[in-house]
Amino acid sequence: MNIDIKSILKNATFAVGLDPDNRLASDSTQLSDQTSMLALTRYAAAHRLTGEIAAKFVKISALKNAPANEMLAIGASMLRDCYGKINWFVAPALSGGMLDPFAKVLKAYNPSIKVVAVSSAADANTDFFPAALPDDTDLSLIDEAVSVAEADALTACKDLQETESVAVGKDAGAALHAAKELALRICDRHARIVVLLPQE
């Protein structure tokens, strides 16, 4: 099926956001909505991160077997909620079918957006080695692939629960840990890093 990404982007209502001031929802009660976003201000402060880090929460059930155009629309909503400003997108590499539509719509809007695919590894010594991506992943859409140690992923889950009162699973924790390390690496106060946190 041929999907018109430009049409999807055009129909994303950039004039209406969850937060009219900075396009990032800060009310955790909105987390049941698959289009909601949360600015991780307390988490960022606790880790002395520069720039802006935000999470987009998406129900796993909303991703499984969803038509490609619906997945692209979720990606477009991420752009809408950020006023179109995203510099980095960090997401678990659960499958190419889940990751590719997000990367595709972001890069269609702005090819300079960097996409980081994250997997979790049981061996603590493999942290940030190049990750093995699912076979169905479109490698042309991925800028970096990293592997996060399981212990670090679980620590990120605990940190998020303590600072933002948000509970996530290991895959989401791995993505958050990778986003944190990315923020520390690039050290850019103007950067906006969006991390995709899948929820059961």
Mean pLDDT value across the chain: 79
**CATH of the domain spanning 5-199:** 3.40.50.1100
Q: Quick check: 41 and 55 in contact, CB under 8 A?
A: no
- Among positive and negative, which fits the CA dihedral 144, 134, 94, 56? positive
Percent of all residues in the chain with a pLDDT value above 70, rounded to a whole number: 71
Give the pLDDT score at 128.
54
Q: Which two tokens stand for residue 161?
A: 């629960």
Q: What is the mean pLDDT of residues 156-182?
A: 93
Q: Based on the number of CB atoms within 10 Å of its own CB, is 154 exposed (0-12), middle (13-18) or buried (19 or more)?
A: middle
Higher local confidence (pLDDT), 103 or 77: 103
**Segments of 60-109 assigned E as strands:** 88-92
pTM: 0.83
pLDDT level of residue 199 (50, 70, 90 thresholds): confident
Query: 180 or 122: whose pLDDT is higher?
Result: 180
Distance CA 47, CA 50 (A): 9
Q: Is the dihedral of CA 32, 85, 93, 95 positive or negative?
A: positive
What confidence tens digit (pLDDT) does each residue in 58-96 have? 877 666 666 677 777 778 878 877 878 899 999 988 765
At 115, the amino acid letter reads V
Length of the chain equals 200
Q: Is the pLDDT of residue 31 over 80?
A: no
pLDDT digits (tens, 9 = 90+) for 105-149: 888 888 999 999 998 876 555 555 556 666 777 788 889 989 899
**Mean pLDDT for the stretch of residues 21-25:** 47
Residue 195 banded pLDDT, cuts 50, 70, 90: very high
Q: Amino acid identity of 174? A: A
Residues ≥6 apart with Cβ < 8 Å to 2: none
